[in-house]
Amino acid sequence: MRTLLANGYVFTGQQFERYDVMIDGNKAYLISPDATRVAADDSFSFDRIFQCNGQYISPGFTDVHVHLREPGFSYKETIKSGTQAAAAGGYTTVCTMPNLNPVPSNKEALAQQLAIIEQDALIHVIPYGTITAQQDGRSQLSDMEELAPFVVGFSDDGVGIQAQELMEEAMNKARTLNRPIVAHCEDETLLHGGYIHDGTYAKSHGHRGICSKSEWVQIERDVKLAEKTGCPYHICHVSTKESVAIIREAKAKGAPVTCETAPHYLILCDEDLQEDGRFKMNPPLRAKEDRAALIEGILDGTIDMIATDHAPHSAEEKARGLEGSAFGIVGLESAFALLKTHLVDTKIITLEKLVQLMAVAPRKIFNLSGPIALSPEPQPADLVVFNPSTSDTICAKHFLSKGKATPFDGEKVSAQIVMTICDGEIVYVNCARGGE
């Protein structure tokens, strides 16, 4: 199957340039945008042609932090529904967290997840293995050596590794296996039953707060361990100004440390909270000063990438207000449009920088296959076509994800995903939004 994406602005590494993209099998190539020459040249015959009409084409987005809930919690999400949602958001690769049942702490348990991925995934799905045998932040290490060939890294996401000695042991083991430790940082002794940020809204509305120190104190511990052990260490969903400062200093010292934040921490703060479960996630929305520090971290390179922490739950689980609802919101289908609207349109970052954060950096840092730019040389045909200058509205009830909880429901945005292509196959097209 040979496909032509004609008349697009294509990401070539540092900028978008006018090109056509030819997809031949599972490879993509830049070719001249001269449509007359293409039509006249017998060496170019296409099974299908999409007129992009000035729309933009970039490497497909990559999210290193999603929850697809299967096996074990398919009422929240499945591999199929989660990858449908990812494709609708422009993602061609996601890395799925291990808070599942059974937890992927050994090869036998992981095999169940891999079988479902093989059968149902629309895009590339790469799992994490757990750090601990019970994915509880406390028990003995998982069977890391037998898991390593099949996983992108090791994480106990959802809980922090509570003991320094256990984290050091995990780092030493992961380093020998050439896999990163990917950490949810949370000191449980500092939580005190909190469920939103210990800030302005909590104090004025009588809610129990989660202090910032519960996050940054483990980051402070772990970056020193990463420097000591030499293990690649990636920090999940950074949310506090102290965390940004610690990571910045660790990077300056040459520690093998990377990190992510999520769209909601860059756009909202605790003053935006409402008495609604769709505003509850972990870490919680922090203060205005924390949001400003995260943006500064994006600008100076302290924060390497943006991940969604897509965490679907049932409607009932999210209908119990701030105190009673489950932690977690969905984000795969809305992330790009929201970030383009709030960061690019406001001139905080460029569109090229956003592609770097959502597509290029995750692939480079996690050594994932897929293009980081398009060129005349063959590249994996994992692409997204988007319109960066059109109006749309976030509509949760239309999400392909089983999860519908987002604080951005009803928000006006200025970008749309038009088409997503994975391994040369069209896995999402929105005919109403410009696809043919």
- 206-260 pLDDT, tens per residue? 999 999 999 999 999 999 999 999 999 999 999 999 999 999 999 999 999 999 9
Average pLDDT over residues 397-412: 98
| CB 117 within 8 Å of CB 91 | no
- The yes-or-no verdict on residue 31 having pLDDT over 50 is yes
Q: How many residues does the chain have?
A: 436
Active-site residue, from 198, 309, 345, 409: 309
- At 391 the pLDDT is 94
- At 434 the pLDDT is 40
- At 432 the pLDDT is 58
- At 32 the pLDDT is 83
Can you say whether the dihedral through the CA atoms of 265, 270, 271, 274 is positive or negative? positive
Alpha-carbon distances, residue 403 vs 104, 313, 330, 334, 370 (angstroms): 23, 5, 6, 13, 28
pLDDT tens across 184-194, in order?
Answer: 999 999 999 99
* The one-letter amino acid at 6: A
**Mean pLDDT across the chain, nearest whole number?**
95
Average pLDDT over residues 284-297: 98
Looking at domain 2-57+375-433, its CATH class is: mainly beta
- 63 given a catalytic annotation: no
Percent of the chain with pLDDT over 70: 96
Q: Tell me which residue has tokens 């920088």.
A: 353
Percent of the chain with pLDDT over 90: 94
Please give the distance of CA 189 from its chain centroid, rounded to a whole number: 28
Average pLDDT over residues 52-68: 96
Spatial separation of the C-alpha atoms in residues 229 and 133, rounded to whole Å:
22
- At 36 the pLDDT is 47
Looking at domain 60-365, its CATH class is: alpha beta
Spatial separation of the C-alpha atoms in residues 75 and 303, rounded to whole Å:
33
- At 54 the pLDDT is 84
- Alpha helix positions (H), 144-287: 144-147, 164-176, 200-205, 213-229, 241-252, 263-267
Q: What are the residue ranges spanned by the domains of the chain? A: 2-57+375-433, 60-365
Average pLDDT over residues 265-279: 98
pTM across the whole model: 0.96
Confidence of residue 35 (pLDDT cuts 50, 70, 90): low
pLDDT tens across 301-360, in order?
Answer: 999 999 999 999 999 999 999 999 999 999 999 999 999 999 999 999 999 999 999 999
